[in-house]
Amino acid sequence: MRAVGLHRDVLVVTSRIWQTTCTVVRGNDECFVIDSPVLPDELEMLPAVLEHAGFHLSGLLATHADWDHLLARLAFPGAPLGVAETTAARLASEPGTAARELRAFDEEHYVVRPSPLSLGQVQALPVPGHCEIGDGEIELHPADGHTADGMAAWIGWARTLVCGDYLSPVEIPWLAEGGSRDAYLATLRRLAPLVDAAEHVVPGHGDVLDAARAAAILREDAAYLEALPDARLPIARRSAAQRTIHAQNVARIAPAR
C-alpha cells in the first residue's frame, strides 16, 4: 500500500490489489474516508495513516456498492457509512452480496481476515447533493453506468475529483451487472466539466491523474463505448484482463443490437 498527499486536506491510499484507491479528505476537525484499500494489512494500517496525518475520522463514504469499495467498514467498524440513494437501494436489494463476494475473493487468494464484512446501517445521501464537512462541503454527483448505482465526489477547495470506477488508466470502461452504456456515457458527460476544473482526479483503480490525462482518458473511454461492439481497446489498456472485460461488455450490449 502507498499513500500520497494531494493537498493539505487530501490523502490517497492505493492498495496492492487492483490499484484500488481510498481517498481521505479533511475539513477543519472532520475527516471522511472515501472507498477503501483491499488487503487486511492495508485496512489494519489505515487508522494509523490517518493518525499520523492528523486526520480525525468522522465518517465513511463509498462511491458505489462493489465490495472492494466497501471495506473501510472493517477498519472503522463504528463509523457511519454514507452512500448515494441508488447505492443504498442496491445494497438493500442484494443483502449479503458484498460479504459473499469478499469471502469468495479471500478463498481464491488465501486471504485470512480477522472478521467478516458487516455493513450495518448505511445512510442514504441525496445525489446530486452535498455532504457537509467542517465548514465546507463535498459535492456529490450521479455516477451510474459501470453499475446501476454510484456517485462521484468533488472536493472543490482542493480541486480534487474522486470518481469511483471511471477514468481509470489501468481499466477500460466496464459494464458490470446493472451497468449501461448510455448511462456510462451520460456519467462521462457529467464528469467532463469537473475534470476540466480539477487539479487531481482520483479514479477507483490506478494512479492519480492530472486534468489533461484524465480528459484524454475520458475521450478514449467515450470513443470506446460509442464504438461497441466493434471497439478497439485503448493502446495502454490491452492486457488479457482488459480483453476479458471487453468480451463481457460486448455480451452486455448484445441484446440491444
Q: Residues 148-193: pLDDT tens digits?
A: 999 999 999 999 999 999 999 999 999 999 999 999 999 999 999 9
The pLDDT tens digits of the residues spanning 193-252 come to 999 999 999 999 999 999 999 999 999 999 999 999 999 999 999 999 999 999 999 999
Domain, as residue range, for 173: 2-256
Q: Which cell goes with 104? A: 469468495
Q: How many domains does the chain have?
A: 1
Q: What is the DSSP letter of 19?
A: T
From CA 222, how far away is CA 98, in angstroms rounded? 29
The predicted pLDDT at position 257 comes to: 46
Count of CB atoms situated within 10 Å of the CB of 45: 17
pLDDT in tens, 63-108: 999 999 999 999 999 899 999 999 999 999 999 999 999 999 999 9
Q: What share of the chain is helix, strand, coil (3-state, %, to 5)?
A: 40, 25, 40
pLDDT above 90 coverage of the chain, percent: 92
CATH code assigned at 153: 3.60.15.10
Query: Does pLDDT of 25 surpass 70?
Result: yes
pLDDT at 254 exceeding the cut of 90: no
Q: d(Cα 166, Cα 147) in Å, to the nearest integer?
A: 11
Task: Decide the pairing of beta strands 122-125 and 2-7.
Answer: unpaired
CA separation (Å) from 225 to 16, 137, 180, 196, 206? Answer: 28, 33, 10, 21, 20
Q: Residue 137 in contact with residue 126, Cβ under 8 Å?
A: no
d(CA 254, CA 252): 6
